[in-house]
Chain A
C-alpha cells in the first residue's frame, strides 16, 4: 500500500506505520497486520504484541461517528459519569462497542484536556463542553 512506501523497513517505524493505517482505515484489519509484519520482517504476532498495547489501535471497524466521553478527574467530579450512562442508554452500547447499524462507536478517554469545560464529550473531532444528561440527545442527534 502507498502508506508503507513512505517508511523505511526499519522496525522502529512500526508504531508510526500502524498509526498511519489506523488514521486512514479507522482500524487495523488482519491482512494489514500481516502486510506490515512482512514489510518490516517481523512476525505478525510481534506486530500484534505492539499494536494491542496501545488503546488507540482498533481491530474492528468503527462506526461512522465516534462518540468519546471523557473520564478525566474534572469531568468525573462534575458529573461525567451520569453523562456517560445516558449516552450508553441512548445508543444501547458500552464503551468499546459499535452500534449494530455501524453509525456510532462509543469510546472513553482518560482526559481529553478540556477540563475547564467539564464534563466533556467529543463527537468525531468536535468537543462539547458542560454536558448534562439532558444535552446528550442534542449532541448525539438521534
Chain B
C-alpha cells in the first residue's frame, strides 16, 4: 500500500464475502505490485467492504472519478494501470452495462441501481477500509459519540431518537426510544446492551455487509445506546461462521479502545463502556431475544415468555436492550444529522431507510438501501433489474422464511412496516427473494416450513408438532398424494401453531403457507387435483420437466434416446403412444417442453420438436404391428369438427371399440390445421398422412356436412357427442374505420390461400397482432407479392407469443415489426388506408406479472397501407340449437377435468372451450374427451397403449457438450417465392448429435 505524500487517487477493491470468493484479494495484490512497478506514487490501493453490487463482482472503484469496474480479473489489472491510471483512458470493457438501454455506465453514481438508492447506513461500505479506524474518523466517524458525551444527557439522547421515529430493524419495528425508556426506568445494578448480529434468515446478508464493511458505525451506535440506556457493558452476538465479520469486529473493538472510545471514563465524561463478542452456534431460534440471552447465559437457546421484556429483566435478570445491527448503525446518523432531518426520510411513522438484500431470480442481486416507502416494484424492477432470461415474475418473499410470499398484484406495496403489515407481510430481516415462473409455490411453502420445522427449539408442542404435521401434508401434496381436505387442515393447524407458540419463530412459521394459500391457491389445486406442477419442480410428480409440461405427456427423453441409439422407428412409436399427430406436431408444435428443458440452464434447450420431426421422417411403421384394437362396443360417438381436438378424440374412441363419425362443415378435414396454417409450415400432404392413419383406425369423416343441432345426433342413435368446433370468428381490433373493405378477415384470407386460390393483398400490408396467426398472415402476404409487410404489436418483440424462432424467420423474409405500437383509428382513402397509430411504453406490472403496455402521450404517427389484417384473437360461433352454455369468457363451459358440458353425454374441447389455443393443447383435450366418453359409455377410460419395445438403458454415453444443432432452413431469398416448406429437417448425423444433448432428467 502506498503511503507516500500526495495521494490524489484511490483504487478501492471490494473484499466483501462475495468478491473475496472470487479472488478479489489477488486483484488487490496485483494492483499493489503493478502500481509499485510502474512507479506511480500518487495512487493508493486499498480494500473495502461491500458496495452491494454483488452480482457484478469482483468490483473495483477508482476515486475521485467515481468509476466502477465490474467483473474484474487479475488479467485486467495491467491494462487498468496502464490505460486508466497512467494514460487517463478508463477501460470501457469493464464498465457496467445498463440492461434496458444496453449502454455502458462508467460512473457508479449514474448506475440506475445506485441512483435510486438512498445510501445512509451503507454510505461507507465500499469506500473506506473497514480495518482502519482513521478512515472511519475521516468521514465523520465517532463525532456523534463525542457530541452526546459532551453535550447531551442520556435522557436527551433517548428523546432525540424518539423524535426521529427510529423503529427496530430486526423485524419487529418496535420504537427504539420506548425500549430504551423501559431499560432506563428499571432500577438495577447492572444494565446491558446487546447487538443482535445473529442474522440467520436465509436470504439476509446485509448485517454481514455492515459488520464486514463498516464495523465502526455499528460500534459507535452500540456505545451511544449504552450511554442512553444506562448500560456499562455491551455484547455483540454474531454467528461464529461469519469469520470475516468476527475478525473485523474484533479489530474494530481493539482500535476503538486504543482511541479511547471504549473503556473507563470515556473522554472524561464519567461514562464507562466495554464491549465483548459472543458467537452464535448455529441455532436460528437464537436470533430471538430471550433465546439469545439464554445462549450467553450458557444454557439451551429456548425462548422465554414475555413479559417480562428483556429491557426490564434480561441477561442475568438485569435490564437488557437488544438492538439489531442496522438499528444501531442508524444511531450515529440520527445524532449527527438531527432527528428532524432524519425523520424527513421515509414515510409517516416509518422514518429512515430500509436496507434490503436482493437475491433469487433477479438481475442485480446484492444489498441496496432505499427510503422507507419505496415500492416493491421499484425495488425489484427499477433497481434490481427485473427477472433474468426474460422469465416472468411470480412471487417475492420478504423478510425471511417465516414471512409472506406476495404475488404480482401486490408489487405496488410500499416497503415499510405499516404498509407491509396491511397485506399480511412483514419487513422482517429485510431479505427479499424474488421468484419466477420456474419456481413452484407449493414447493417453496414446503421448503420454508422444512426450515422453520428444523429450527424449532421444541419447547412448545404446537410449534414442534404442528409444523411437523404441516410439513408432512405439504410433502404429500408435492408428491402428488394430496387431498383437497388437506388445505382446510393446513389452515386449522396454522391457527393452532400461531396461537400456541411462545416466540416469534412459531408464531410466524405458518405465514408462508397462509400467504401462499391465499394468493396462489390454484397451484395447490393443480398439485392435488391434476398432479400437475406447473413449474415442473416437484420431483415426486415430475418425471422430467419436458414430459410434465407437454400437455399430452409424451415421453420425450425416451424417444430422444431411441434416436440417439439409431432407432427412429422406436422413437416414432413412443410419440404415437400419446398422440395421433406426430408429423403435424413435429412441424408446428409450439414446444412448451423446450421452455422447461433443463439443458437450457447450461446452454440451450434440446431441439425436441425437430427431433420429433426426424423420428417421423426417418422412422418406420413398426408401431402398427403393435397396436391393438378393442372389440366393438356397440356404441356410437359423433364428433363435430375435424380439427386436432376432434380427430384425436375420434382416433382414441375408435381404438377403444366405439363406432365414430366425425362431421366436418368444410370440404376437407383438418380444421385450423388445414385452413389456417400455411403450406410452408405444414405441407398439406403431411397433414393428410396423419389424418389417413386416423381414418385407418376406423374413423369415418363426413365432410361438407354442418351440424346445427346436437339433439338430432342423439335421435340418430349416437350415444355421445364431442363438440370440437373451434373458435372460428376473428375478433375485431375495435378501432373506427375497420369496417372498410381494406380490412381483410384473417381466417377468410388464409382459407382462400390455403385452398390454392392466390390473390394479392396489395403491396403494403399491415398485420395487427403478435401471435403465430399474425406471423403466418405476414409471411403469407410476402409470398403473395406484398413488398412491404409490417407487423404491428402493442408490446415488445420479446413478448410476442409467436416466439423468437418464428419472428426471426419473418424478419429474414423482409417483414418489418413495429413493436410497442397500437393502432388507434383507420382513415380509408382512395389510394389506401391511413392507419393512425400511437407508440406504447411499459407501465405498471399487472396481477399476472407482466407489465401493462400504455400509450405514450404525443407519439402518434401514421402508416399508409393497402390492406390491414387483424389477428388479435378469436371467438366462438355456436349455433343456438346446440343449446350449450357459454362460460364468462365466451367459450363453451365444461367441467375442467372431464370436459363434460351440462348436457348428459355431450362433451366439448379444443379452441371451442379454451379459446384460441395451440395444436398440442387441442390434442390433449381430445385425449381427455376420449377418456371421459369411454367411461361414460361403460369403458375403462384407458387410452394409453404400449407401442415401443422396453428400453435398455445399460449403455449410455455422457451427454454431449455441443451447443444446439442449428435447424436447416431454406435461404430467405428463396422462401418468399413460393409456399415450399421452409424447415428442411435434421439428417441422421445431426439428429443423433442433437439427441446426445439430452440430460436424461427422467433417469435421475
* A interface with B by C-beta (< 8 Å): 10-16, 18-19, 49-50, 53-57, 71-79, 85, 109-118, 125-129, 132, 134
Give Cα A137 to B795, complex, Å.
44
Of all chain A residues, which has the CB nearest B276?
Answer: A16
B299 x A77 contact (CB < 8 A): no
Contacts A55-B283, A76-B447, A129-B22 given; does A111 touch B203 at CB 8 Å: yes
Residues in B neighbouring A125, C-beta threshold 8 A: 243
Contacts A16-B278, A127-B17 given; does A113 touch B300 at CB 8 Å: no
A78–chain B nearest beta-carbon distance, Å:
7
A112 x B601 contact (CB < 8 A): no
B433 x A13 contact (CB < 8 A): no
Q: Which of B21, B298, B435 contacts A129 (CB 8 A)?
A: B21
Within B805-821, the residues touching A (CB, 8 Å) are none
B240–chain A nearest beta-carbon distance, Å:
6
Residues in A neighbouring B208, C-beta threshold 8 A: 113
Query: Closest 7 A-B residue pairs measured CB to CB?
Result: A116-B54, A72-B202, A111-B202, A14-B298, A115-B359, A74-B359, A56-B282
Give Cα A132 to B149, complex, Å.
53
Q: Which of B199, B239, B279, B433 contacts A73 (CB 8 A)?
A: B433
Q: Which of B281, B360, B1004 contacts A19 (CB 8 A)?
A: B281
Q: Which of B17, B447, B602 contacts A114 (CB 8 A)?
A: B17
Give Cα A19 to B447, complex, Å.
29
Extra 9 A-B pairs, beta carbons < 8 Å, given A56-B281, A77-B439, A111-B200: A13-B298, A50-B298, A54-B301, A56-B240, A77-B444, A109-B241, A111-B201, A113-B239, A116-B365
B298 x A127 contact (CB < 8 A): no
B202 x A74 contact (CB < 8 A): yes
B359 x A73 contact (CB < 8 A): yes
Contacts A77-B435, A110-B284, A127-B21 given; does A116 touch B451 at CB 8 Å: no
Residues in A neighbouring B202, C-beta threshold 8 A: 71-76, 110-111, 115
Give Cα A85 to B448, complex, Å.
19
B601 x A132 contact (CB < 8 A): yes
B601 x A79 contact (CB < 8 A): yes
Residues in A neighbouring B54, C-beta threshold 8 A: 116-117
B49–chain A nearest beta-carbon distance, Å:
13
Question: Can you list 19 A-B pairs, Cβ within 8 angstroms, ordered by A?
Answer: A12-B298, A15-B296, A18-B281, A53-B300, A53-B457, A54-B281, A56-B282, A73-B202, A73-B401, A74-B359, A77-B435, A85-B1004, A111-B202, A113-B239, A114-B17, A114-B205, A115-B205, A115-B359, A126-B21
Contacts A55-B281, A77-B360 given; does A117 touch B21 at CB 8 Å: yes
B538–chain A nearest beta-carbon distance, Å:
11
B788–chain A nearest beta-carbon distance, Å:
45
Within B594-632, the residues touching A (CB, 8 Å) are 601-602
Give Cα A113 to B54, complex, Å.
12
Residues in A neighbouring B309, C-beta threshold 8 A: none
A74 x B298 contact (CB < 8 A): no
A115 x B298 contact (CB < 8 A): no
Q: Is B465 an interface residue (CB 8 A)?
A: no
Q: Is B319 an interface residue (CB 8 A)?
A: no
Contacts A72-B202, A77-B360, A77-B433 given; does A19 touch B279 at CB 8 Å: yes
Of all chain B residues, which has the CB nearest A113?
Answer: B205
Residues in A neighbouring B279, C-beta threshold 8 A: 16, 19
Q: Is B55 an interface residue (CB 8 A)?
A: yes
Q: Which of B18, B201, B278, B300 contacts A49 (CB 8 A)?
A: B300
Q: Is B642 an interface residue (CB 8 A)?
A: no
A74–chain B nearest beta-carbon distance, Å:
4
Contacts A72-B203, A74-B433, A129-B21 given; does A116 touch B366 at CB 8 Å: yes
Q: Is B397 an interface residue (CB 8 A)?
A: yes
Give Cα A19 to B316, complex, Å.
21
Q: Is B871 an interface residue (CB 8 A)?
A: no
Of all chain A residues, which has the CB nearest B438?
Answer: A77
Give Cα A136 to B962, complex, Å.
20
Give Cα A57 to B602, complex, Å.
38
B360 x A74 contact (CB < 8 A): yes
Q: Is B303 an interface residue (CB 8 A)?
A: no
Give Cα A10 to B361, complex, Å.
48
Give Cα A113 to B429, complex, Å.
12
A15 x B295 contact (CB < 8 A): yes
Give Cα A73 to B398, complex, Å.
11
Of all chain A residues, which has the CB nearest B206?
Answer: A113
Contacts A73-B360, A77-B439 given; does A115 touch B203 at CB 8 Å: yes
Q: Which of A114, A115, A134 contacts B431 (CB 8 A)?
A: A115
Q: Is B204 an interface residue (CB 8 A)?
A: yes
Give Cα A112 to B208, complex, Å.
10
Residues in A neighbouring B296, C-beta threshold 8 A: 12, 15
Give Cα A73 to B284, complex, Å.
14
A80–chain B nearest beta-carbon distance, Å:
10
A117–chain B nearest beta-carbon distance, Å:
5
Q: Is B455 an interface residue (CB 8 A)?
A: yes
Q: Is B242 an interface residue (CB 8 A)?
A: yes
Residues in A neighbouring B401, C-beta threshold 8 A: 73
Give Cα A126 to B444, complex, Å.
28
B283 x A53 contact (CB < 8 A): yes
